[in-house]
Amino acid sequence: MNDVILISGLIALLLAGVPGCGDGDPPSSEAASTGESWTWTAITRGGSFEVRARPLPVPLPLNEHFALEVEVRPLAGGSSVEGLELRVGADMPAHGHGINTEPEIMKTGAGTFRVEGLLFHMPGAWELVLDVVAAGKTERAVVPLVLE
């Protein structure tokens, strides 16, 4: 029972920071064309970091490569951003698969990264997965998306 409450709370926390998710709906590619800010924010599951990601271009293209600018910020009790590593991928849980590309991740500063080579090859519900590695420990942030 406590696991269900914990998971529900984490999902609510993750969705609260994602534009368009206040009503429970993941952001769609249409939201970007209205001029809405496309910076997604999520807290890592361990609670040590806030991860912000902005896709380029907007709106997200279907079956075309896109990039992300990512910023990782430590939260209370979190590690420094010095020496952080970032791993990025995406999953389509309803279909049981992820992306077909291997993103290239470049560190652009302390806690900032540029990710190139991402590609959502089909419409539907996706989860952008951002793993922050600090001091040998990995914490995951997940941003739910819907690509139409």
Task: State the distance between the two ends of the chain, measured CA to CA, in whole angstroms.
Answer: 35
pLDDT at res. 37: 58
Going from the first residue of the chain to its last (148 residues), give the mean pLDDT of each consecutive group of 10, the final group possibly shorter: 39 40 38 52 94 91 92 84 92 85 94 94 93 93 92
* Total tally of structural domains belonging to the chain: 1
CA distance 70 to 89: 13
List the CATH number of the domain containing 85.
2.60.40.1930
Angstrom distances, CA of residue 130 to CA of 76, 78, 85, 89: 19, 16, 10, 7
CA distance 77 to 1: 27
State the residue range of the domain holding 122: 2-147
Angstrom distances, CA of residue 30 to CA of 26, 59, 93, 95: 11, 7, 21, 22
pLDDT at res. 81: 82
